[in-house]
Amino acid sequence: METLRIGIVSISDRAFNKTYQDQGLPALKSWLSSAVLNPLEFVAHLIPDEQPMIEQTLIELSDIQKCPLILTTGGTGPYLRDVTPEATLAVADRIIPGFGEQMRQISLHFIPTAILSRQVGVIRGNSLILNLPGRPNAIAETLGGVKDEQGKQVIHGIFASVPICVDAVGGPLVETNPEVCKSVRPK
């Protein structure tokens, strides 16, 4: 099984300035390590809410580090300093609107203010870039989806579609742990 190189970026002024401990990068590593069966290599960055720095980091992860999957966390709300979607769209070759739509659908299951989220999914070259929410539980919910008390999937998480998209942009075959996230592939 081929190694999956994943760029993970936590975008937060307060975590960058050490006002509080970053929780985004550990949450991403934890969920991905439980969901993906491939060996994983993380290229991690903790940066402030500065659009030029976000753009530069995404370009480096895509063009230089050659990460077929790049996940950001934080900076997707309506606040003036929340510029992650603008930075992501600025470096995008193509937009995949379904990712943002599904992320909001999942979050709306838990909180009505999810309507304010501006998460996007894009392709840059051979990289899929996804903006995730900032809270650790919201990261897990967005990636894995919503399950009922019996463990039956009620709303699919976005990661179910990530392996086929990574394949489409030229990345490795991504295998998932079906107990965490059952990926969907065409027959």
Q: What are the tens digits of pLDDT across the range 119-129?
A: 999 999 999 99
Q: Is the pLDDT of residue 185 over 80?
A: no
Q: What is the mean pLDDT of residues 7-16?
A: 93
42-60 pLDDT, tens digit per residue, is: 999 999 999 999 999 999 9
- Can you tell me the distance from the alpha carbon of 93 to that of 3, in angstroms, rounded to the nearest whole number? 25
Residue ranges covered by each domain of the chain = 4-168
pTM, to two decimals: 0.96
Q: Where are the alpha helices (DSSP H) in the chain?
A: 13-16, 24-35, 51-59, 84-91, 97-108, 136-144, 162-168
CATH superfamily entry for domain 4-168: MoaB/Mog-like domain (3.40.980.10)
Is the Cβ–Cβ distance between 114 and 104 less than 8 Å?
yes
- Can you tell me the distance from the alpha carbon of 69 to that of 88, in angstroms, rounded to the nearest whole number? 13
Mean of per-residue pLDDT scores for the chain: 94
